[in-house]
Structure formats: structure tokens, C-alpha cells
Amino acid sequence: MAVKTVLVYPEPLLKELSVPIDGFDDSVRNLLQDLVDTMIDAGHSVGIAAPQIGDLRRAVVVDVSNSKLGKKQQNHGLIQMVNPEIIEREGSCEVREGCMSVPDYTGNVTRAESIVVQYQDENNQHRVIRAEGFEAIAIQHEIDHLDGLLFLDRVSSLKTGLFRRKH
């Protein structure tokens, strides 16, 4: 479909709660494709959520298979999720995260090491998967966007856990 402009913090839409998608039609398929196209166009991105392109529906895409962290672990490749919900969390780890919507900073965030997530895929099929490591972290990050949360909201200390990117 199309590469969309990624909204950047402090854009107010990034803090809004996304609404569930009822009914699976071409507009949902188009949204998912726009997310895939925008993520791929960014070159370095491993995921993007609909609010980041100004759409407040509950949809995200994640693909860690081309990142150096994702290649080291089992992953599911490109995952397109409609109405994703984490139904199980295990473990805890602190990781450094970045975000296309917060381009100038990275931050230390605590995430679950392993999750089980349920969603509808791009074919409107109900799926339940277990994700671990970097893939689990990426999925949690993208689902946070659907709830109006940025990694900045999860940084333990803005004084010691937030870092300016070197460009």
C-alpha cells in the first residue's frame, strides 16, 4: 500500500488508547500493509504500531528476523497482529529500547522475558504464540503503543536510564 509518516513524541495521538478492531475488511488489510511497508522503509525497525502512523486501531506488526538480536534466537518472522493481547508473562529483564517515535533517545526498560500473545493474523485467523527474548520485548513495546504508552513511560529513572542517541 504505502509508506506512512511516523508520528514523533510529543504528538498527542501517541498517548491515546487504541480501539479494538471489529470486523475484518479491506481497511484492516490496508492498515496492516501500511504498517509493514513503513517498518521496512525505516530500514532498522523491528516493529510498528498503528498509532505511530496516526491510526487508533489495535494493530501492530513485528519482525525481528533481520536484526542482529533477532537472528540469534528463534523467532516467528513477520507477525501481523490485530487486537493483540498478552495472556501470559514469564521472567523479567532490563533492556535498552529505542523507538521511531522517540528518535533522539533510548532508555532502559524492564520487560517480561517470555510472553504468550493471542491475536488475529492478516487472514483473520485466531493465533496464540509464545515469544521469547528480543521478539517478546519487541511485541511488548508495540502493544504498549496501543495503550498510549511509550518506552519513556517505562524508564525506571529518567535521570540514569535515558540516553541521547548519537547520530
Q: Give the pLDDT confidence of 68-79 residue by residue, as tens digits.
A: 776 667 899 999
pLDDT band at 167 (very low <50, low <70, confident <90, very high): low
CATH code linked to domain 12-164? 3.90.45.10
Which residue shows C-alpha cell 501500511?
A: 34
Where exactly are the structural domains of the chain?
A: 12-164
Verdict on whether the full-model pTM lies above 0.85: yes
Q: What is the pLDDT of residue 160?
A: 83
Q: What is the pLDDT of residue 67?
A: 80
Which residues carry out catalysis? 142
Q: What is the pLDDT of residue 71?
A: 64
Task: Kindly report which listed range (63-77, 118-132, 147-161) carries the lowest average pLDDT score.
Answer: 63-77
**Nearest alpha carbon to residue 23 among 83, 76, 69, 71:** 83
Q: What is the pLDDT of residue 166?
A: 82
Residue 83 pLDDT more than 70? yes
pLDDT band at 129 (very low <50, low <70, confident <90, very high): very high
